[in-house]
Structure 1
Amino acid sequence: MKTSAAAPLRVLIVDDARLARAELRTLLAQIEQVELVGEAEDVPQACAEIARLHPDLVLLDIQMPSGSGFDVLDALERVPAVVFTTAYDQYALRAFEANALDYLLKPVDPARLAAAIDKARQPSPPATGTVSGDDTRSALGAEDQVFLRDGERCWFVATGEISRIVVDGNYVRVWFREHSALLARSLSALEARLDPALFFRANRNTLVNLRHIRTVEPSVADGYTLGLRDGGQAEVSRRQARELRERLAL
């Protein structure tokens, strides 16, 4: 790897196996501009160390006696970039192939690890986090990523990819790409975490990403029907129609 004048990439290792941690330490020592800031061997320790150290990258095992790598991500409000290191290739591929920064099978190949490190540098990974209802934290911008989990399905999603969020019983359904995920959150809690310049409260049950609006058509009761780029629709209430006109006007 070429020497860079940039600050070293700060890496945390999370693995319950002592030998696996030692192997990763040895491999990281061979890569320039990498700083190993700490290690953790279970889920609680991993969460504590990520919150304390704020690493740029976490090398995260998937299966541990105290829980899983999924549990680590679920427990965090904002997490760094993640590369999974696991012996369970099929499980890792199914959940994270298209969403995590990378996954590495044990025994970890040095070239694959170096490539993952390069990927983490290009550019500095955007902050990621679970969607949460704590409105004391800064709003998530379009490029910030959130970790979404619906049963055994998991994704890393840039908030700008979310087209709409709709109340679904006691939950909310988040629509993104060609997928949707059901979350145990309130719509108001998510609205407090999302950039108000990006997301618009179309009605009491729906948030819409303004960048995903393709068409605006008048509807009954002086509202609007929004056609979205993914083929979905959202109704704008009469109460919100004026605000929408102001938001979209020149």
Structure 2
Amino acid sequence: MKAIIIDDERLARKELTSLLQTHSEIEIVAEATNADEALELIDQHQPDLIFLDIQMPEKSGFDLLAELDRTPLVVFTTAYDQYAIKAFEVNAFDYLLKPIETDRLARVVQKLLDEHKKSTIHAGEPQQKLSHTDQVFVKDGEKCWFVRLDKVRMFESDGNYIKVYFDSVRPMIHKSLNALDEKLDPKAFFRASRKHIINLSWVEKIEPWFNGGLMVELKGGDKVEVSRRQASKFKERMSL
């Protein structure tokens, strides 16, 4: 597994690197001291895993994750219990409290290896579109979530923001629907209209609608109008 350590403290990076030397399955390909540096290194190396300090100057670990299109496995590293608790609130893979204990690290590494074997995400393919198996990080104010895209039933444009529909929540992210549409796999997601992108695996019912359009009902009850312009493409995609 390729990994990047992201921590503004040199001694913390050195300590973790030293501890990981006994775990040959994990290869440290780079180290970053801040979020901006980490963004470049993640884009360059496409790691399977990042060890991420939560509290860093200027941008936190959560801020960094919010800027990534595709999120690798994440293990938070922190010296504070309060951040560890928040890490679990955002459904992180796991966390390590500083100073890191060797036994605790060994357990986390074993979990990582088990998860990596199950994963269908292939590293080293930066041009690959975001599909159902990819994980993204959603940050809305102080609330954060890791979400697999197969859980997202719909994206809805709301001004300069996008509303993300998954589970029972609808957090807002500061992105444009056009930019998101370019990154999503068209086999998995469909641009229904100027305001909506839907997850095709969530489609439950399709009905004719006004002016040659369609009304699509998703599992769970959400309804989305497919514009007349997009209706023929949708029928072709769904083999209607």
TM-score category of the 2 structures, normalised to the smaller one: 0.7 to 0.9
Structure 1 unpaired stretches of 5+: 1-8, 129-135
Moved more, 190-199 or 82-91: 82-91
Structure 1 residues 29 and 95, CA, compared in 2 at 3 Å: closer, same or farther? closer
Mapped partners of 1:85, 1:198: distance in 2: 34
Show the counterpart of 1:3. none
Greater strand share, 1 or 2?
1
1:11 to 3, 6, 12: 3
Q: Secondary structure at the match of 1:30?
A: coil
The one-character-per-residue Cα deviations of 1:75-108 (angstroms, maximum 9, x if unpaired) are 4444532210112333343354453221122222
Listed as ranges, the matches of 1:1-250 within 5 Å are 9-121=1-113, 122-123=115-116, 125=119, 126=121, 137-249=127-239
Root-mean-square deviation over aligned CA pairs: 2.6
Instruction: Note the C-alpha offset of 1:175.
Output: 1.0
Share of identical aligned residues, percent?
46
Q: Secondary structure at the match of 2:52?
A: strand
State whether residues 104 and 112 of structure 1, in contact with CA within 8 Å, keep that contact through their aligned partners in structure 2: yes
Instruction: Note the C-alpha offset of 1:234.
Output: 0.9
Instruction: Note the C-alpha offset of 1:178.
Output: 2.2
TM-score scaled by structure 2?
0.83
Mapped partners of 1:181, 1:246: distance in 2: 31
Would you say how many aligned residue pairs link Structure 1 and Structure 2? 235
Mapped partners of 2:235, 2:16: distance in 1: 55
State whether residues 164 and 175 of structure 1, in contact with CA within 8 Å, keep that contact through their aligned partners in structure 2: yes
Which amino acid is the alignment partner of residue 110 of structure 1? T
Which amino acid is the alignment partner of residue 116 of structure 1? V
Instruction: Note the C-alpha offset of 1:163.
Output: 0.7
Show the counterpart of 1:5. none
Instruction: Note the C-alpha offset of 1:168.
Output: 1.0
Instruction: Note the C-alpha offset of 1:127.
Output: 6.1
Structure 1 residues 209 and 49, CA, compared in 2 at 3 Å: closer, same or farther? closer
State whether residues 68 and 137 of structure 2, in contact with CA within 8 Å, keep that contact through their aligned partners in structure 1: no
The one-character-per-residue Cα deviations of 1:139-175 (angstroms, maximum 9, x if unpaired) are 2121112222111222222222211111112322121
Instruction: Note the C-alpha offset of 1:194.
Output: 0.8
Mapped partners of 2:224, 2:203: distance in 1: 9
The one-character-per-residue Cα deviations of 1:26-51 (angstroms, maximum 9, x if unpaired) are 32123242323333333333334334
Structure 2 unpaired stretches of 5+: none
State whether residues 50 and 79 of structure 1, in contact with CA within 8 Å, keep that contact through their aligned partners in structure 2: no
Which amino acid is the alignment partner of residue 197 of structure 1? K
